[in-house]
């Protein structure tokens, strides 16, 4: 087969780039797409999933169904070696590293949420970015209503019935509108909650909402939300957050147990680690969508800074991170990759937005299409028609249409399903001879032995010397994570049937850096075992000191003795 074309990311940009590449190259190229999920999320529908207007499965479509002729690899991207033209991913249960070669690489990894600038916000705010976020928000709202219906404590009831959304852009406005509709349509099931006790607040740092739309439509949106009982606080930032209140930049305290953050878009950590030129944390590309300084690396969507004119400097000079632009970027990118392969000149990306739409919930919306302004029911109906036509796959369109139809004639369900994720701590059993993990696997857990015996093996990459140690009940392995390691340094096998307690990476790092007794223990243990200084007391968010990869426990002890 000819060219190896590799796409990183399964969002709008990645999905449509892979589809367009398939159309242009057919079977003459090996086209692969790497995604952590095997489904595509239609993000504009997430607020409706959170509100129960459509079922969560109706907002997603199988990537394998949408990408016929494209090889899908469900894996986690670890690193990119541009010199060797290789991408390393972790895949499978054991999270083994696998190298994938490419001739042309498309970076379409979207963005993530970073709320770390506001104290407490990342720990206490719900988000609206993924399917799990939408599912979790719906369950959370229903839980607050259930609690408020039975509590006898006025302050608890007030906090439970106060809902705050941070951000009044498209995502924030659509989320707060759908949240209010879910609450209003659910109150008939909660006799001890009076509608007057509900407080829904949207907090926006900018002087107006919906900056992407004309000011008249933004004013209409705010007026409609306020008529439905939503408070819209403009020129107001967030100073801090706790589990029971949000403090604004003006000093106002809002007692609440529900904070939804629709702000804080930040680059993917993997993109930041790539050796690519960046512009405000996004991949710097030229107008052909090719990464600066890389002839065979391309980027589009949320993770790329795409200039729409020469010498672009202002925000409006670059393509906005919207689905509408991502789809057009994908078509142009595929065209230019084909031209590059054929040795033909590349063309610059040019596209002008056809307009913007936003749903306000309760059959109201705002829209500007080809310069025509719409509001109210016509805009809401246009919003649904547009996104229904935009959805990939006929089955998805049909399921969403039927969900909307039934939602219009049936009451909303207040069934609360368990949406808790995997336990941060869990027991795992191993039989004699089972491999727990191997050298090079992704580091994602800390292991404490409950029963049985396990052999931990290290091999010095420089000398080839092999060091083994046996770990029994009360012992542990996998602690190198807090030294900055992202891959396993050694291998572990069960010498007999055994049971271990596995603590997730995030939980282990939090405990070891904040629980003094645990931190003190590992500080001494790492010094004695690896000959590396590690101190748990460091600024929040600062990277842990990284252990040298050429140090084995045996070598460290020998060095210390000398």
Task: At 278, list the tokens.
Answer: 């960046």
Q: What is the largest CA-CA distance in the chain?
A: 81
539 falls in which pLDDT band (50, 70, 90)?
very low
- pLDDT at position 532 is 84
Average confidence score pLDDT of the chain? 90
Task: Report helix, strand or coil for 371.
Answer: coil
Instruction: Please write the tens of the pLDDT for every residue from 411-455.
Output: 888 888 766 655 578 899 998 999 999 898 988 899 999 999 999
* 401 CB-contact burial (10 Å; exposed 0-12 / middle 13-18 / buried 19+): middle
pLDDT for position 442? 87
> Residue 558's pLDDT is what?
34
Residue 363: partners with Cβ closer than 8 Å, 6 or more residues away:
377, 380
Mean of the pLDDT values across residues 76-92? 94
Query: Per-residue pLDDT averaged across 114-133, rounded?
Result: 93
The predicted model gives 333-358 an average pLDDT of 95
Alpha carbon 121 to chain centroid distance?
16
Q: What percent of the chain has pLDDT over 70?
A: 94
CB 341 within 8 A of CB 3: yes
Q: How is residue 65 written in tokens?
A: 């169904």
Query: Are the C-beta atoms of 56 and 49 separated by less than 8 Å?
Result: yes
Burial of 408 (0-12, 13-18, 19+ CB in 10 A): exposed
- Band (pLDDT 50/70/90 cuts) for residue 458 is confident
* CATH number for region 425-561: 2.60.120.10
**Helix axes 394-409 and 377-390, enclosed angle (nearest 10):** 150
* pLDDT over 90 (residue 40): yes
Q: What percent of the chain has pLDDT over 90?
A: 72
Cα distances from 97 to residues 93, 124, 468, 489, in angstroms, run 11, 34, 23, 13
- Residue 370 to residue 387: CA distance in whole angstroms: 16
In 9-57, the DSSP E strands lie at 30-35, 39-41
Task: Read off the pLDDT band of 543 (50, 70, 90).
Answer: very low
The confidence score (pLDDT) of residue 547 equals 41
Q: Do domains 121-263+356-409 and 425-561 have the same CATH topology?
A: no
- C-beta separation of 183 from 145 below 8 A: yes
Least confident of 14-23, 177-186, 370-379, 501-510: 501-510
Place of tokens 């939408």: 134
pLDDT at 553: 40
Nearest Cα to Cα of residue 23 among 67, 62, 61: 67
Report the residue count for the chain.
562
Please determine, for residue 189, whether its predicted confidence score (pLDDT) is greater than 60. Answer: yes
Question: What is the pLDDT, as a whole number, of residue 267?
Answer: 85
**Rounded Cα gap, residues 221 and 375, in angstroms:** 8
> Which class is domain 4-36+75-111+266-351?
alpha beta
Name the fold adopted by 121-263+356-409. FAD/NAD(P)-binding domain (3.50.50)
CB-based burial label for 298 (10 Å; 0-12, 13-18, 19+)? buried
DSSP 412: P
The SS3 assignment for 528 reads helix
- In the predicted structure, residue 87 carries a pLDDT above the cut 50: yes
Calculate the CA dihedral of residues 475, 494, 434, 486 and round it to 10 degrees.
40
Predicted TM-score (pTM) of the model is 0.83
Nearest Cα neighbor of 160 from 183, 127, 134, 188 is 183
DSSP 546: P
| Assigned token pair, 262 | 């629709």
CA dihedral of residues 235, 241, 245, 247 (deg, nearest 10): -30
The two three-digit tokens of residue 176, written as one number: 């707060």
**How is 36-47 classified by DSSP, letter by letter?**
SSSEEE-GGGHH
pLDDT in tens, 304-328: 999 998 888 887 799 999 999 999 9
DSSP 92-121: TTTTEEEEEE-SEEEE---EEE--TTSTTH
Structure tokens at 429: 């059993």
3-class SS at 439?
A: coil
Kindly tell me the number of DSSP H helices and DSSP E strands found in the chain.
15, 34
**Can you give the residue ranges of every domain in the chain?**
4-36+75-111+266-351, 121-263+356-409, 425-561
First and final C-alpha spacing in the chain: 57
Pick the closest to residue 454 from 426, 480, 487, 477 (CA basis): 477
């Amino acid at each position: 087969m000819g060219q190896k074309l590799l796409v990183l990311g399964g969002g709008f940009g990645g999905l449509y780039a892979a589809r367009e590449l398939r159309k242009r190259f057919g079977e003459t190229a090996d086209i692969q797409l790497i995604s952590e999920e095997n489904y595509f999320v239609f993000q504009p529908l997430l607020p409706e999933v959170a509100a129960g207007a459509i079922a969560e499965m109706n907002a997603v479509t199988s990537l394998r169904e949408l990408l016929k002729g494209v090889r899908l690899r469900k894996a986690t991207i670890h690193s990119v070696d541009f010199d060797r033209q290789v991408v390393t991913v972790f895949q499978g249960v054991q999270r083994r590293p696998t190298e994938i070669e490419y001739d042309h690489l498309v970076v379409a990894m979207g963005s993530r949420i970073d709320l770390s600038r506001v104290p407490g916000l990342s720990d206490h705010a719900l988000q609206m970015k993924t399917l799990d976020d939408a599912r979790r928000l719906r369950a959370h709202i229903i839980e607050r209503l259930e609690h408020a219906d039975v509590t006898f404590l006025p302050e608890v009831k007030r906090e439970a019935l106060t809902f705050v959304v941070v951000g009044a852009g498209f995502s924030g406005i659509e989320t707060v509108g759908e949240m209010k509709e879910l609450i209003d349509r659910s109150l008939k099931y909660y006799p001890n909650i009076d509608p007057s006790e509900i407080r829904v607040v949207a907090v926006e740092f900018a002087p107006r909402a919906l900056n992407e739309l004309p000011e008249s439509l933004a004013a209409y949106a705010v007026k409609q939300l306020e008529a439905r009982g939503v408070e819209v606080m403009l020129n107001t930032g967030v100073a801090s957050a706790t589990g029971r209140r949000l403090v604004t930049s003006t000093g106002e305290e809002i007692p609440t147990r529900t904070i939804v953050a629709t702000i804080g878009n930040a680059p993917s950590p993997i993109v930041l680690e790539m050796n690519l030129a960046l512009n405000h944390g996004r991949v710097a590309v030229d107008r052909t969508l090719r990464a600066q300084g890389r002839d065979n690396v391309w980027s589009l969507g949320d993770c790329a800074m795409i200039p729409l004119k020469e010498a672009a400097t202002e925000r409006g000079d670059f393509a906005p991170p919207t689905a509408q632009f991502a789809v057009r970027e994908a078509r142009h990118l595929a065209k230019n990759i084909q031209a590059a392969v054929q040795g033909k000149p590349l063309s610059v990306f040019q596209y002008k937005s056809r307009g913007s739409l936003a749903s306000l919930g309760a059959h109201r919306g705002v829209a500007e299409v080809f310069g025509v302004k719409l509001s109210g029911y016509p805009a809401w109906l246009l919003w649904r028609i547009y996104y229904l036509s935009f959805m990939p796959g006929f089955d998805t369109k049909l399921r969403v249409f039927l969900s909307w139809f039934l939602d219009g004639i049936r009451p909303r369900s207040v069934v609360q399903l368990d949406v808790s994720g995997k336990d941060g701590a869990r027991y795992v059993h191993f039989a004699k001879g089972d491999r727990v993990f191997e050298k090079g696997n992704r580091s994602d857990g800390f292991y404490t032995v409950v029963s049985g015996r396990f052999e931990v093996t290290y091999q010095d990459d420089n000398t080839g010397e092999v060091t083994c140690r046996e770990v029994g009940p009360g012992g542990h392995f996998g602690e190198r994570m807090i030294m900055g390691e992202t891959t396993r340094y050694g291998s572990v096998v069960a010498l007999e049937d055994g049971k271990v307690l596995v603590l997730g990476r995030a939980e282990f790092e939090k405990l070891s850096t904040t629980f003094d007794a645990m931190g003190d223990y590992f500080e001494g243990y790492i010094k004695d075992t690896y000959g590396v200084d590690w101190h748990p007391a460091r600024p929040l968010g600062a990277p842990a000191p990284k252990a040298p990869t050429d140090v084995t426990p045996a070598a460290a002890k020998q060095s210390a003795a000398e």
